[in-house]
Amino acid sequence: MKKIRLSLLIAVFLCLITLSGLLSACSAGGRDFYAMGTSVNIRLSGSGSRKAYREIKQMLEDVEKAVSTELAASDLYRINRAPAGEAVAVGAETLFLFEESQKIVSVLEEICGFSAFDPSLYPLVKLWKLSPDTYSISAKEPPADTAIQEALALCGLDEFVADQQAGTITKLKQGAMLDFGGIAKGYAADRAKQIALFHGVKKGIINIGGNIYLLGKAYTVGITHPRPVASALITAMSLKDVSVVTSGDYERYYLDQNDPTMRYHHILDIRTGRPADAGIISATVIGERSDWCDALATACIVLGVEDSLALMGALNGQFGMSFRAYLVDGRLNTYTVGEIAFAPYE
Amino acid sequence: MNRVGQVKAGKLFQKWDLLIAAVVIVVLACAIAAFFLPSGESVEIYIDGKRTYVLLLSHDQTVHLEGLLDVVIQDGSVFVRNASCPDKLCEHHLPVHDAGHSIVCLPGRVSIVVKGKAKVDVVS
């Protein structure tokens, strides 16, 4: 009888191990859904995963309701349509994103001399037909210079004032508009990471439209090739417990209908009012804060190689943060800031 | 009864032994099937986050998603045709063939993902 019990135990043990392996293989896809106007994939493992999934989904819906430029009644929808001088009541997420944007803009202005990332460029983004409601990939003519100058006159984060205590944001100039598209997904990835850790998740990948957070173990992250070549990736890197965000001129763009060599993409330069043309076509930023990585990846595209390298050097150590970066220029030359463990991908 | 006695009595395998052996064989068979059968890559189509189609990448075919787009599998790659979304970005995406890669149509909320043994865990 003892022998039977022992063999039974061993068999049950073997079965459990095998079944757990099968289950984890089957559940490797995690949860896929749409939120914040992008596709979200979250793969978590650990006892609190289910609760974390539910809470993250709810958080993403809340953030979208607050900062979507499209959803009627969202904070940004109301700010963008409000007359100058009207204090618009906003939620904690919107206030946080506004103040974090102010910090990033002031740091960039101090180091680079201008705001290479700026959430107040929305009038220009709409003029260039690069906002989600106006965009299509079909070739078209760029806007007229006078229209660009008029829209540019409405841009600048100092055209807005936040009142933390009253919970309001007020625009100072009629027509000024905000868009947190360059930071909100990073913010959401940070929040998702906090939720996952709170629920005891040991490891996993949070991917909110390419704003990625890697938790608990080293994962291989492929970086999208910025140009249409046979290989979909330009490189891959092994990263752990950090966020990684890539921006590029290939994400939302159209070609000039009269000059197909001209590409108009969604990352605009506040100095010119035109799509950034500083030489970098893809920027990957790696760091602990996904919202900053998101904004800095955009900034690198605007700054070009030399200024981006200088920015990263100046930023490291400030605010208790450090960043690594992988930049690709138009000739597909690559530049690395900080130590990155590259991994095989082919 | 000792072992010799059990053999003589025709009870070399008792009821429990047979049951355990059967369970082990079934689980191992499942494991072997799970690890070796799906060696070919597949294409999964998600509409609004819900997995709607699972197709073999090795089998050329076109799936018409009414009001959205056509998913075309051809020569081991998958791409999009006839997108009805306003931006048409998905239609301009190069064909994908490697596991882990995807084509996303944001306005249509359609994701087309190649599944299989991926070389990377996630793509940025």
Per-residue pLDDT tens over the stretch A196-237: 999 999 999 999 999 999 999 999 999 999 998 877 899 999
Beta bridge partner(s), residue A30: none
| Minimum-distance CB partner of A223 among B88, B100, B124 | B124
pLDDT at A125: 97
Q: Taking all residues of chain A, what is their mean pLDDT, rounded to a whole number?
A: 92
B30 has pLDDT over 80: no
Average pLDDT, chain B: 82
Q: A264, A254 in Cβ contact below 8 A?
A: yes
A129, A266 in Cβ contact below 8 A? no
What is the structure's pLDDT at A281?
97
Candidate from A22, A244, A343 with C-beta closest to B34:
A22
**Per-residue model confidence as pLDDT tens digits over A307-329:** 999 999 999 878 788 999 999 99
| Contact status of A45 with chain B (Cβ, < 8 Å) | no
| pLDDT digits 0-9 by tens, B33-77 | 665 554 568 999 999 888 889 998 888 889 999 989 999 999 889
- Tell me the CA distances in angstroms from A176 to A122, A194, A231, one per residue in order: 8, 33, 42
Nearest by Cα to A328 from A298, A306, A305, A294? A305
Pairwise CB contact (< 8 Å): A252 & B119: no
> In degrees rounded to 5, what are phi and psi of residue A180?
-90, 20
CA distances from A328 to A27, A339, B51, B55 (A): 35, 16, 35, 35
Chain A hits for B20, Cβ within 8 Å: 7-8, 11
Q: How confident is the model at residue A27 (pLDDT cuts 50, 70, 90)?
A: very low
Cα dihedral sign, A267-A175-A256-B86: positive
Confidence at residue A170, expressed as pLDDT on a 0 to 100 scale: 98
Nearest to B23 among A11, A207, A344 (CB): A11
On chain A, the residues whose CB falls within 8 A of the CB of B27 are 14-15, 18-19
pLDDT tens digits for A161-192? 999 999 999 999 999 999 999 999 999 999 99
Q: Please report the pLDDT score of residue A123 as a whole number.
A: 97
Using alpha carbons, select from B105, B111, B1, B95 the residue that is nearest to residue B46: B111
Q: For residue B8, is pLDDT > 90?
A: no
Cβ contact, residue pair A224, B115, below 8 Å = no
**CB of A314 within 8 Å of any CB in chain B?**
no
Band (pLDDT 50/70/90 cuts) for residue A344 is: confident
Q: Which of A83-92, B55-64, B76-85 has the highest mean pLDDT?
A: A83-92
Q: Is the ipTM of this complex over 0.85?
A: yes
Q: Determine whether the interchain pair A345/B120 forms a contact, defined as Cβ–Cβ distance below 8 Å.
A: yes
Of A31, A137, A232, the CB nearest to B101: A232
Which residues of chain B lie closer than 8 angstroms to A284, CB-CB?
124
